[in-house]
Amino acid sequence: MKKLFFSTLIAAFILNTFSAHAKIWRINNNAGVLADFSNFDFAANSPNVAAGDTLYFEPSANAYTTGNFSLTKRLVIIGPGYFLDPTNTSTPGNAGLQVSTEESEITFFRIGAAASGSKFMGVTLAGAVYINNANNISFEKVRFPAGVYFESGTNDSFSFRKCFFQNGAAISNSGNAIVSKFVCENNIFYGASQVNLPGLTGSGNILRNNSMLNTYGFILTNTYVANNIFGIGGECNFTNCTIKNNLFQVNQTLPGTATGNQVNVNMANVYIGGTTGSFDSRMRLKAGSPAIAAGLTIGAVVTPDCGAYGATDPYKLSGIPNIPSIYTLTAPISIPSGTATMNVTFSSRNNN
């Protein structure tokens, strides 16, 4: 009953947050919970779900299946965030952010041209995402334990902001895909994850204020590279890139036009690190870090910190989306038959 009540309550929060012009659909695969759909492909392919609608994936211990389908509809995909369970030893979480400590994991799927304009927030994309001829796709506060692969076609205007990449997840492309206007800001790349996009075209590609640790060398072409922390044991490969105010763990080879960069930086002096707390909390800057105030000015933020937690739109712990969240809830497990009322206490916060 408590889980059902919580699902109903958070659904009401979602419905009151977004415009009435687009519908919000509940996705929940927990036993005993009545929702609009129980998996991704059924929801996205439903004739009742229109372009521009929102799919809210509620917390679940079970991954949301996709049938390996291709998304062909512009949708907004929202989950509860990630790293929510501080008792989880494999992916330790941050306490007190959500009542439910489960994530919303989505398995493998493709994004097609008709899904251009889609947005993903607060979900865990546990299977790889393959992209074909799509444009204007936004990933914000998403956890990527698997990668993003530009498979084919012309793919323009992709943004990755405040996301967490791990377990070797890579953003990469095939030789059949053209990628332009790639923006990657305030993300964390952790544990063998990387960006491998040697075929980027145009002048609108940006890699700025990202934090990397124990990852592979990045491969980039035609990209503005600034305010990043490259905690990487090998060199990156930059071709025709503008490189400013970055920190490199190794003695990175840089072009003569590069300015404000630091090389041979000991990462033990940069991040909080350690073996306790969530993975993303360990990537915050420690006191006296050489990354503090080492960045190039962005807008009104003068000499920001380098890395994901700096600049105008810093990384937020656990990828909590910009919607109200319930972080404490007290409700009776059961009530006597015929009881007309029950006392419920909950606390919520605005995450804008």
pLDDT attached to residue 328:
42
Question: What does the alpha-carbon distance between residue 334 and residue 185 come to, in Å, rounded to a whole number?
Answer: 47
CB 42 within 8 A of CB 73: no
Per-residue model confidence (pLDDT) at position 327? 41
> Whose CA is closest to 114, among 133, 98, 101, 128?
133
pLDDT, tens digit only, all 352 positions of the chain: 445 444 544 555 555 555 556 899 999 999 999 999 999 999 999 999 999 999 999 999 999 999 999 999 999 999 999 999 999 999 999 887 666 899 999 999 999 999 999 999 999 999 999 999 999 999 999 999 999 999 999 999 999 999 999 999 999 999 999 999 999 999 999 999 999 999 999 999 999 999 999 999 999 999 999 999 999 999 999 999 999 999 999 999 999 999 999 999 999 999 999 999 999 999 999 999 999 999 999 999 999 999 999 999 999 999 999 755 444 444 566 666 766 666 555 444 455 5
This prediction has a pTM of 0.89
Q: What's the pLDDT score for residue 349?
A: 45
CA distance 157 to 162: 17
Residue 324 burial class via C-beta count within 10 angstroms: exposed 0-12, middle 13-18, buried 19 and up: middle
What does the angle CA 314 – CA 157 – CA 261 come to, to the nearest 5 degrees? 50
